[in-house]
């Protein structure tokens, strides 16, 4: 995906400092709506939003109605929820805060990549814009967080890597790990123990029969193979390196 730019900054429509956007719940909702479609094209339904936020459908209905009233979202009955331009600006601002905080905690404070999500969730609503920008400067303005998720720039530009779920790749496909979902800390710890990290070289070996695990060659050692179950295979994104005959991405 090519970089896109959205105006941002304190006081801009849809920024954390604009009227109606200072609610922690509002900020969390627009961030979740954005994140739900960041790595896949499925629309965000009300039920999917409730599942991701682990709240009742009635709570989602009430909150989405509020987002619509604030001009941050669009929603028609029985239709997906979509962010307006103002909602997208707010979402990108909150995503930037969250991912810079995660990166700072790992790079500067020695946190593990499996420990930072909840800490960032707490801090993102309280730190000032100045502190966020000082963190970015200190870190050298990184473009991705410790899990490979892109960090929006201050102007809203996002450098989204061209990557695909490893579970959707065919046998013989080679690449490097571009992103690992941080949804499950236990899974992050497991993959770390298996030396499957960002920028690790991988090759899809094949699926075990009868719906079995996906076998993946990890690193440059041809004998280093691991099996990924459904949850693991659904958490790893790979950027392609080279090509192979009959690649399903080229068809």
CB 217 within 8 A of CB 203: yes
Task: Say yes or no: 31 and 134 in one domain.
Answer: yes
113, pLDDT greater than 90: yes
Counted domains in the chain: 2
pLDDT tier, 16 (very low <50, low <70, confident <90, very high otherwise): low
Task: Say yes or no: 122 and 28 in one domain.
Answer: yes
pLDDT tier, 2 (very low <50, low <70, confident <90, very high otherwise): very low
Task: Say yes or no: 62 and 109 in one domain.
Answer: yes
- Domain of 115, CATH number, reads 1.10.10.10
- Higher pLDDT residue, 200 or 248? 200
119, pLDDT greater than 60: yes
Task: Say yes or no: 202 and 119 in one domain.
Answer: no
128, pLDDT greater than 90: yes
13 within some domain:
no
8, pLDDT greater than 80: no
248 within some domain:
no
pLDDT tier, 11 (very low <50, low <70, confident <90, very high otherwise): very low
What is the pLDDT averaged over residues 107-130?
Answer: 95
Spatial separation of the C-alpha atoms in residues 132 and 31, rounded to whole Å: 17
What is the pLDDT averaged over residues 225-243?
Answer: 93
Task: Say yes or no: 179 and 125 in one domain.
Answer: no
All residues at 6 or more sequence positions from 205 whose CB lies less than 8 Å from its CB, including other chains = 171, 215, 216, 217, 225
Task: Say yes or no: 72 and 120 in one domain.
Answer: yes
- Residues in the chain, total: 251
Spatial separation of the C-alpha atoms in residues 123 and 196, rounded to whole Å: 28
pLDDT tens, 134-183? Answer: 999 999 999 999 999 999 999 999 999 999 999 999 999 999 999 999 99
133 within some domain:
yes
The boundaries of the domain holding residue 60 are 24-139
Q: Which residues pair with 165 in a beta bridge?
A: 237
Q: Read off the pTM.
A: 0.87
**pLDDT at residue 217, rounded to an integer:** 94
12 within some domain:
no
Task: Say yes or no: 127 and 169 in one domain.
Answer: no
151 within some domain:
no
pLDDT tens, 48-99? Answer: 999 988 899 999 999 999 999 999 999 998 899 999 999 999 999 999 999 9
């Amino acid at each position: 995906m090519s970089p896109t730019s959205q105006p941002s900054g304190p006081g801009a429509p849809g920024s954390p400092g604009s009227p109606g956007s200072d609610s922690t719940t509002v900020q969390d909702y627009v961030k979740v709506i954005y994140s739900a479609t960041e790595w896949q094209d499925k629309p965000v339904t009300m039920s999917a939003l409730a599942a991701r936020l682990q709240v009742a459908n009635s709570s989602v209905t009430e909150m989405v109605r509020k987002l619509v009233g604030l001009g941050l979202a669009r929603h028609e009955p029985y239709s997906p929820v979509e962010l307006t331009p103002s909602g997208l600006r707010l979402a990108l601002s909150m995503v930037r805060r969250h991912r810079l905080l995660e990166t700072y905690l790992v790079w500067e404070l020695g946190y593990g990549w499996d420990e930072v999500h909840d800490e960032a969730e707490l801090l993102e609503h309280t730190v000032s814009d100045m502190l966020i920008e000082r963190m970015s400067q200190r870190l050298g303005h990184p473009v991705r967080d410790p899990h490979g998720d892109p960090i929006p720039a201050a102007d809203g530009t996002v450098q989204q890597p061209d990557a695909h779920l490893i579970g959707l790749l065919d046998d013989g496909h080679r690449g490097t790990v571009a992103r690992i979902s941080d949804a499950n800390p236990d899974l992050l710890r497991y993959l770390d123990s298996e030396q499957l990290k960002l920028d690790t070289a991988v090759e899809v070996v094949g699926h075990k029969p009868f719906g079995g695990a996906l076998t993946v060659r990890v690193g440059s050692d041809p004998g280093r193979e691991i099996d990924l179950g459904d949850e693991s295979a659904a958490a790893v994104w790979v950027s392609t390196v080279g090509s192979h005959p009959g690649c399903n991405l080229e068809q």
